[in-house]
Amino acid sequence: MTQHHPLPAASRRVLEVAFKDCFGASEYAGLEDELARQPGVHHAHLDRTRGVAHLEYDPAAVTGEALRTRLHAAGYACACQDCAPSASQPGHPAQAAAAAHAGHEHHPGHDEHGGHGEHAGHGEAIVADMLRRFVVSLILTVPTVLFSPIGEALGFRAAPPFGLDMAWFGLILATPVVWWGG
């Protein structure tokens, strides 16, 4: 997050910038600071996972169109749109979807928190699957640790079963823990 100089709510706007040509962390390096240093911009927040930046700016000092022009001149292909600022989160746009959803009456298929019940019942299945993976991984991890140098340091001195070398024994037990349990 970059510097933030609060503006009165009436004198601030937010420009949402969706980058079209940035695909990795190296392309975003320093971009948030660069955006915050633009004249008239008071706060910049870059969401690297979505490739979206929110620039809070003073419309008396710079226009959204001028910011768009600067971004395009700097070589950034992006889609920009002006948004009303959020009252609760400075530098971010107001959430129009939340306001629109607030007016909906309760329908079957919606839970009391406003979520959709299309996936009802899947939560229990996911929890059961995660618990099963955890228990099996734990069962496989205990002998891996016991037959390792850690187990030896704790006083457990035994050779792996079936005459296996410790390296192979560890590989056999750790592989499902990493690939299936993880």
Q: Is residue 73 part of a domain?
A: yes
- Range among 31-35, 91-95, 143-147 with highest mean pLDDT value: 143-147
Q: CA dihedral in degrees (33, 38, 44, 48; nearest 10)?
A: -60
Taking the C-alpha atoms of residue 78 and residue 71, their distance in angstroms, rounded to an integer, is: 8
Q: How many domains are there within the chain?
A: 2
Look at 109 and 77; give whichever has higher pLDDT.
77
Res. 104: pLDDT tops 70: no
Domain limits at 132?
121-181
Q: At 92, phi and psi to the nearest 5? A: -120, 155
Same domain for 130 and 88: no
pLDDT at residue 173, rounded to an integer? 93
Does residue 43 sit within a domain?
A: yes
Average pLDDT, the chain: 75
pLDDT band at residue 176 under the 50/70/90 scheme: very high
Distances, alpha carbon 151 to alpha carbons 95, 144, 148, 175, 179, in Å: 54, 9, 5, 19, 23
The pLDDT, as a whole number, for residue 141 is 94
Of 73, 40, 75, 74, the C-alpha closest to 55 is: 40
Residue 108: inside a domain: no
Residue with the larger pLDDT of the pair 161 and 27: 161
19-28, 33-42, 83-92, 102-111: segment of lowest average pLDDT: 102-111
Same domain, 59 and 125: no
- Of 21, 20, 23, 70, nearest to 44 (Cα)? 70
- The reply to whether 70 and 30 lie within a common domain is yes
